Structure 1
Amino acid sequence: MSDTPKNEDTLGTVLVQVQDDLRQLKHSLGKITISEKGETLDIQALDTAIRRTERGIRKRAEEYLKTVNKQLLILPSIEDLQKKTIQLPKWNPTLESFTDTCPQRGELPGPSPGEKHKSALTMRLLCNPAHPKNRAIMHQKFGIPLPDLHKKSANSETHHRVITGPTMSIVPGGHRNLARPEEDMRAGLTDWKSRCHKQLTWGKEPGPTHERTGRECTPTWTTKAPAPPPSATSKSTGYRSMMQGSNCLTPESHQNVPVLVPIAISKFPFTITEGRTDPMAADFCRFKQHYCLCWGNLVDALEALEKLLREFAVPLAKVCGERLADFGLGWDIGWRRAPPLMGLLSVLENREQVLDLVLRPGQRYTGEGGIEAAAIRIQSCWRRYLARTTYLRHCRRKWAAGTIAISWLMHAQMRRVRKALQARRFRQLENYRNRAQHLATNWKHIQSSKRTIIHIPSLGYSQSQRLSLKGFDVLQNIQISRLCDVRDENVEVIYVSPRHLGDDILHYYSSLLKLHGASEVGDAELTQSSSCIKRFTILTPDAVEYFPTHNMCLSTLLKYSPRTLQRIRNLIQGKEAYIVGGVAHVDDLAVADELGVPILGPEPVVAQLYGTKSGGRRIFAGAEVDVTPGQGDIYSLNQLHETLARLMTQNMDVQRWLFKVDSEQGGRGTAYCDVCHLSCYNWALQEYRRHGPDLWNTEWVQEPVLLRYLDEVPEWLAHHAQPAKTSCYPNWACFLKTFLRQGGVVEAYPPSDSVTCLTVDLLLEPGGVVTMLSCGDQLHGSCQLETVGSSVPQTSVCPDTLHSICMRVGRACLQRLIIGYVSLDLATFLNHSTLEQKVWAIDVDLRYSNQLAMTQMLLILTGGTLDCRTCRLEVPVPIKEKSSARQIAAKPPAANRYAVIGSRLFHTNLSMVYPTVFFKMCKAQGIGFDMKRKEGTVFALHDSSERGSLGMVTVSEDLQGALVTFARNLSVIQQEISSPKMQGETNFKDLIKDIEDVLQMTVQNNAQAVEDNKAAT
């Protein structure tokens, strides 16, 4: 112990001061921002040098601390205690500096084996001072008198007497902490013994029971000193093992209330009030003394914590010294690096309360610099708002500029495409007109020579109509009977089918065409029948596979089918050819231009103008034929009401009024309303009878009735008008919406209980000739305004009258540049007032009709001719006996026949029967065609997949027989494919009922004719 320092030690103070100076220097260097004489100061290099110096000083301080601990803080040996007396510095701490916590575990330098024995003995004596032997040994060996715990003091009123004076930690191995003041370091062991003996008193009652051994142990006093720095505590292992089982008493409070306090968390807590630390507070001084050697790193953390508490106006914060030390030593401040908020708050013992206060909205603006912070925040928010608004405005303008640019580019592109399409369509129209002129010039030559007819049964309806039609491809394929045009030996047919046909359909039509002329025995007829199957070709556009659900018309599909177009070009190369379409469409011109052939039909624009209900009335007006009372081109509700009221006033005998949409076909867009539901009709009828028919035509007589009608017509229509087919338009409101949007006509239904409608098919040749091709009386289904079939030839109108009407209508169409196939609908009835037959022109369709297609099948089966001028169907009758050459050379005799045609018969149960099974079933029921007698039944198959629709033709010697055969066939088929539980959807029953009505009327007419003949004779 020769190197033990005898004088006052000031080296620790010097080291602390050096560290403070280095820290201040580092902060000063952080504020340097200028350069001198053009040379920039390398602050990072200075920072590195300062850090290196700090580490060196810290290392030297630790080495010094180890040396001092080894030389001064080891208690003297027990055997040398009487020989050597070491003068130790006095230790005179104040009582307020004691804390309530137990000493923290740490690692100190381990003592030698002899010192371990002495330390263990000393700690055993101090931990159990109540034992008599321990007091004797301490007094004998060390000269320290321990208090007698079995004696009561005058002031002991509680179980334990709490220490009110300063405390001291007993360090294993006899070490004392260097963080104490210098006067405490010079205090001797004797002075410490006397002070402890005077100030400490012990209770009488026995101490608490030990947790592990269960023995009764006496409480020990606890003196508390700051823990050694991390470099010293990391090496002390004996201290940690000794303090685990020790019990301690807490110091007495200021109110002298004896309380047994549990072990506290921190050894060096101190308080920060209103963001400022009291440098003279005992707890802060004790904390600063303990961490004096590393104080330079802790000052920054403490200043940051104080600043945070001041900024948020925290009134009280309790700091855990150990956490603050760990945070300060672990926080690398760097250059202008702010500490983390949660890291600072983690050093507080009441961090939950402080955190709640910090997170309170607006709390920052109540503390130090709150006004400036609020101003900064307001300015930053306002600047952010302005910047954000400017940015959003810029984005909107940029988006708008991009949208305008893209829109303009798209507009320019669409304009270029539109111009290109217009130019292309104009070129196609010019080519159509040129080819039409060529067709008109050479029509007679073409009709007498070999030619190819390209049949495209396209329905060029509007998109909304096409999408609303179910089975649109089947509807277009109903006219598959156009194949029968091959009955002319100079004609080859290319039929474009809207769907793929199966082998069974192809085989059926091949067999059907072989029957042409098969009943004749001549070689020429046999050759002709065998050549028919070689002169027709069925093609399907390859675009059908790509647009299966778009309901495109057949011309559009063919336009987008280059391979099919190329095949048609190969088939017609070097031949005279022309196209026979359906409902005109603009794509018909494109297909014709691609193929380079003319179209036997009007221009699409002309067809759209005159192919409507209103356009038909304009044609009839130009033809000067009788039309139904009515008016077309109605597009507003007021116009509808005024027109209807005027027509009802002028035609008092009409009982039902019809409303037809211009663009609809087949009775779909038709509604009706009966006059009998009008409340003022009886009064108006009385007024009509009172004035008489002659006087009624004056306006002043009709005015009261007209005004009354105007008042009641709107309500009358709303309550009593109804569509003819509710499947298309469920109520009047839906129908009226379409009627006013597309336009329509108002027409009178013929004022008779017996009305017959008939259809006449005309061919308006390009040369200007009008030819009647077919005529028949209509058959109706469920809707009386929808045509399902007809009886050929017609028997309702005088042939001369019919021919006159057809010629006038045909010439009116030719004047309007309408050529090709035209279908004319007429209505005939008996006028009760004059008892004369009247014929009204109802409608005109500018297309190839279903009746004409089925008539072609009828003619190729019977081998006969239909003379529409005389309304006679004549078929050749085979010669029964052998005749001479003169008789064979003569023309074979002809017989009259009547046929009933059903163009579209549908039954959902037909899809469950294959064609072969269906024909076997019909054969078993006696349904077939007799080629010798030219009588019987023939079917037309429309498709091979769904098989829900078909056509039927029955031929007989008289009209009544043909109607009966047709009705019987429908009844048999209905019974064969249906059951009581599965009837399916069909129009068979309605058609049978309509045929029965026609038969009854035919019987009555025949009876009336017989009576008239008898009366005449």
Structure 2
Amino acid sequence: MQTLNHSFFEQADQFRQLQIELRDRWQSVQLFDQSDGDILVIPSLSLDQRELLKIQGVHHYEERLLFSLIRLQNPRTRLIYITSQPLHPSVIDYYLQLLPGIPFSHARDRLLLLSTYDSSHKPLTQKILERPRLMERIRQALRLEKTFMICYNASTWERDLSVKLGVPLYAADPDLQIWGTKSGSRQIFAESGVPCPDGSESVWNVEDLAVAAAQLWERQPQLKRMVVKLNEGISGEGNALLDLKPIQSVAPAAASHTKRVAKFKDHFATLRFQAKSETWANFSSRIPEIGAIVEAFVEGEVKRSPSVQGRITPNGEVEILSTHDQILGGPDQQIYLGCRFPADETYRLRLQDLGLKVGRTLAEKGALERFGVDFIAVQQPENENQWEFQAIEINLRKGGTTHPFMTLKLLTNGRYELSTGLFYSQQGRPKYYIATDNLQKDRYRGLLPSDLMDIIAHHRLHFDTGTETGTVFHLMGCLSEFGKLGLTSIGDSPKQAEEIYQKVVKVLDEETRTSSNHPTWTAQHCLPFAWNEAE
């Protein structure tokens, strides 16, 4: 045991030293973004694997970081991208052909693609660590003095890989990942002075969950609904809605605390799960493993789900990157489907302020790189331009809004302007987009990546580097098996972004019209409200 403890602490010290080197090497945002170097991309979803399996085609989500290939537009940057299974060559060609002013062959020579050839349900990083020869090949390919590693999220697997390769990880220490859980997020909100719904700390069994629910109802007797959340749920798939109307007989004014707790234990079986495959038997079995919270459901006639994204740079600076209005789906609008950039003009600057508060608290705790904060915004009846915000959760990782924004930023070399909350191209044009990971229809099943390339070319759906408008596709590996595709449609106005997006959907529907059409996500689902923005 002493040897194990010594090894653990020694490794932790080595990891911290590597992160100090990262801070010493890049003292400013500009140096970090523009410097030459080797980038090791590990797109491992090192999260709870049982929760990940609720997402269709999740093993293809390693493709979501392929926007990193656009960094090869710097002619002295080299990049290593590792996946569980080899990527289709046409997908790689697609990204490299997006690079403005860089010969395809020059970019391809600076890209090394590696695979573990392992389709098992393990995190990719674990697979890499289990293959010492692959590890050695990675090590030999890197210029260690000018290399850093990026990942989807940082777990102990990524920390181990960082130490074994001797490569700094540009991400938060895994010991800080508690602040990205549902309960940890609530603590950060409290410390930052950011409003969030009334709720509980983590509970680890059904009995304590019932007690927490009863106590919440006693504090908020006007509640109509509650949300029960697994502490490490992903994209809303670990959420469940609890309706209080059927148990009014044990409301705070009508029954004792003991009766209320007993009633809740039975009533949990009626939870309305957001994941299609979820059951109370499975959900309750997860509580002792990853914990759960119960939270007041935020009611309101007009609600939106905005988010703010930021990063904490190696020198500790907090930078706001973007705001979005998220598009949610599922039985109760709890599951993330896509986003629109930027968030509504009436509240995007307020989002930035709240994001800075959270970011500074995270930075004080030593966090690094990406963070995102999700909110519920409720329009006030007396003033349609006034919104009340409740923070819902923090993501200490790259999320669904990361790759569309980074795709825009890297393709245009533009800038995000804090004073307006808009993104401007180098020509000074504000840019807008609609993005999704979930354009999914049964009729799209069977389309190969090469088929998609044919469709893109024939109908001119590609991103035009001259006008800086068009669509950039991702998750192409999901298409054949699941009929699922990701895309980011970029325009010079909200209307143009919408038109570009809907053109893609129309073309794909026409190209597959001989198949039966059972849409699970369409352009209409993507556009629940209009941007409040002068065009």
Question: Structure 1 length normalisation: TM-score?
Answer: 0.48
Aligned partner of residue 46 in structure 2, secondary structure: coil
Change in CA separation of 1:437 and 1:930 when aligned onto 2, cut-off 3 Å: closer
Residues 1:425 and 2:11 aligned together:
no
Aligned to 1:508: 94
Aligned partners of 1:963 and 1:995 also within 8 Å: no
Change in CA separation of 1:987 and 1:869 when aligned onto 2, cut-off 3 Å: farther
Q: How far has the Cα of 1:656 moved from its partner?
A: 2.6
Aligned partners of 1:779 and 1:788 also within 8 Å: yes
Larger helix percent: 1
Q: Identify which of 553, 560, 583 aligns with 2:123.
A: 553
Aligned partners of 1:656 and 1:749 also within 8 Å: yes
Q: Identify which of 802, 816, 840 aligns with 2:351.
A: 802
Residues 1:912 and 2:446 aligned together:
yes
Q: Identify which of 474, 477, 497 aligns with 1:962.
A: 497
Aligned partners of 2:325 and 2:339 also within 8 Å: yes
Residues 1:539 and 2:113 aligned together:
yes
**C-alpha separation in 1, matches of 2:470 and 2:80:** 29
**C-alpha separation in 2, matches of 1:488 and 1:775:** 27
1:325-724 equivalences in 2 (<5 Å): 422-444=5-27, 447=32, 449-462=35-48, 464-465=50-51, 471-487=57-73, 491-513=77-99, 516=100, 526=101, 533-534=107-108, 536-541=110-115, 544-545=116-117, 547-548=118-119, 550-573=120-143, 575-607=145-177, 609-680=178-249, 707=257, 710=260, 713-714=263-264, 717-718=267-268, 720-724=270-274
Aligned to 2:520: 987
**C-alpha separation in 2, matches of 1:827 and 1:529:** 45
Aligned partners of 1:646 and 1:706 also within 8 Å: no
Change in CA separation of 1:468 and 1:672 when aligned onto 2, cut-off 3 Å: closer
Q: How far has the Cα of 1:715 moved from its partner?
A: 7.1
**C-alpha separation in 1, matches of 2:131 and 2:258:** 60
Gaps of 5+ in 1: 1-417, 517-525, 685-701, 878-893, 1011-1017
Q: How far has the Cα of 1:966 moved from its partner?
A: 1.8
- Deviation sequence 1:327-377 (CA, Å, 0-9, x none): xxxxxxxxxxxxxxxxxxxxxxxxxxxxxxxxxxxxxxxxxxxxxxxxxxx
Residues 1:867 and 2:402 aligned together:
no
**C-alpha separation in 2, matches of 1:437 and 1:500:** 34
Aligned partner of residue 241 in structure 2, secondary structure: strand
Gaps of 5+ in 2: none
Q: How far has the Cα of 1:899 moved from its partner?
A: 0.7
Paired letter, 2:400:
N
1:752-901 equivalences in 2 (<5 Å): 752-783=300-331, 784-795=333-344, 798-832=347-381, 836-877=386-427, 894-901=428-435
Aligned partner of residue 366 in structure 2, secondary structure: coil
Aligned to 1:902: 436
Change in CA separation of 1:832 and 1:675 when aligned onto 2, cut-off 3 Å: farther
- Deviation sequence 1:70-127 (CA, Å, 0-9, x none): xxxxxxxxxxxxxxxxxxxxxxxxxxxxxxxxxxxxxxxxxxxxxxxxxxxxxxxxxx
**C-alpha separation in 1, matches of 2:496 and 2:12:** 50
Query: Greater relative contact order: 1 or 2 (C-alpha under 8 angstroms, separation 6 or more)?
Result: 2
Change in CA separation of 1:801 and 1:537 when aligned onto 2, cut-off 3 Å: same
Change in CA separation of 1:566 and 1:826 when aligned onto 2, cut-off 3 Å: same
Aligned partner of residue 320 in structure 2, secondary structure: strand
Paired letter, 1:830:
Q
**C-alpha separation in 2, matches of 1:975 and 1:420:** 64
Paired letter, 2:425:
V
Larger strand percent: 2
Aligned partners of 2:79 and 2:110 also within 8 Å: yes
Aligned partner of residue 594 in structure 1, secondary structure: helix
Q: How far has the Cα of 1:503 moved from its partner?
A: 2.1
Range with bigger deviation, 441-450 or 949-958: 441-450
Change in CA separation of 1:651 and 1:972 when aligned onto 2, cut-off 3 Å: farther
- Deviation sequence 1:627-648 (CA, Å, 0-9, x none): 1121121223333233223323
Change in CA separation of 1:978 and 1:553 when aligned onto 2, cut-off 3 Å: farther
Aligned partners of 2:61 and 2:475 also within 8 Å: no
Aligned to 1:9: none
Q: How far has the Cα of 1:663 moved from its partner?
A: 1.7
Range with bigger deviation, 910-919 or 743-752: 910-919
**C-alpha separation in 1, matches of 2:468 and 2:54:** 41
Change in CA separation of 1:676 and 1:484 when aligned onto 2, cut-off 3 Å: farther
Aligned to 1:997: 528
**C-alpha separation in 1, matches of 2:262 and 2:64:** 44
Aligned partner of residue 579 in structure 1, secondary structure: strand
**C-alpha separation in 2, matches of 1:671 and 1:794:** 26
- Deviation sequence 1:594-629 (CA, Å, 0-9, x none): 22111112222322x223111111111121211112
Change in CA separation of 1:920 and 1:538 when aligned onto 2, cut-off 3 Å: same
Aligned partners of 2:69 and 2:96 also within 8 Å: no
Change in CA separation of 1:754 and 1:864 when aligned onto 2, cut-off 3 Å: same
Q: How far has the Cα of 1:810 moved from its partner?
A: 0.9
**C-alpha separation in 2, matches of 1:628 and 1:797:** 22
How many residue pairs get matched? Answer: 529
Aligned partner of residue 929 in structure 1, secondary structure: coil
**C-alpha separation in 2, matches of 1:803 and 1:466:** 30
**C-alpha separation in 1, matches of 2:62 and 2:222:** 40
**C-alpha separation in 1, matches of 2:317 and 2:379:** 32
Aligned partners of 1:493 and 1:535 also within 8 Å: no
Which structure would you say has the larger Rg?
1
Aligned to 2:488: 953
Aligned to 1:938: 472
**C-alpha separation in 2, matches of 1:501 and 1:492:** 18
Q: How far has the Cα of 1:540 moved from its partner?
A: 2.0
Aligned partner of residue 264 in structure 2, secondary structure: helix
**C-alpha separation in 1, matches of 2:259 and 2:524:** 37
